Structure formats: C-alpha cells, structure tokens
Amino acid sequence: MLKPSKRHFLRYDAQTYETQGFIQVSGNVQKLAQNPRFWQVTATAKTQEPVTGEQQTKHFKFKPTERLKLSELAPLINDFIHAGDDFLPDCVSVMVCARVMTEGGV
C-alpha cells in the first residue's frame, strides 16, 4: 500500500521559492522525482489580518491521481493553492511539503 514517505520529501515556501529555492530536501527525492511518481502534497498558508495583526493558518492536502515528475507537479500545486484565493491578499507564507508515495511510507 502506498503511503507518504517519511524520508523522501521536500519542503519550500511558495512565496520565496524563486529566490531562495527549497528549504529542505530529504532522502533521494530529487533522484526519485526524475521519473513519474505518486505524490502527497500538504501546504500551510499563514495569513495576517492587516488591521489587527492577528495570524491564522489554513491547511491544504491533496494527492494527484496520476504519476507525475516533480517538474509536472509544481503547476498543480500552484493551481491548488490559488483555487482558494480568498486568503491570498493577506498571505504571509505558504509552506509546501511534497512527499513521494512509497510502499509502506518508507
């Protein structure tokens, strides 16, 4: 049974990725991502109310239904995050974690 890997994942902030790249690359995720794989993606958006300064978080989780390379996954992540654009104007960060699905989650 395929489960999200505890070892093969990457983490990045969607708002700073273009300038700062990945925050964490674990296991062999870059090597594994060269071939189509099943993925589980989680994202946590942190927003800040402009007037009160109150911060809130919003969590997303999705699993694409087809095997994808990492380069093919990026546009899906962006589309998924932007589909809930009601939070985007006040967004401070969007931490994304993409895990390769492996047998038993290893």
Given a contact cutoff of 8 angstroms between Cβ atoms, the answer to whether 47 and 92 are in contact is yes
CA distances for 26 relative to 6, 7, 11, 85, 100, angstroms: 9, 6, 9, 30, 11
Predicted local confidence at residue 50, as pLDDT: 87
Residues of the chain with confidence (pLDDT) below 50: none
**Cα-only R_g, the chain:** 15
Q: What is the pTM of this model?
A: 0.88
Predicted local confidence at residue 23, as pLDDT: 96
CA distances for 72 relative to 20, 83, 86, angstroms: 20, 18, 25
Per-residue burial over 60-80, b if 16 or more Cβ lie within 10 Å, else e, is beeebeeebebeebeeebeeb
Q: How distant is the alpha carbon of residue 29 from its chain centre? A: 13
Predicted local confidence at residue 84, as pLDDT: 66
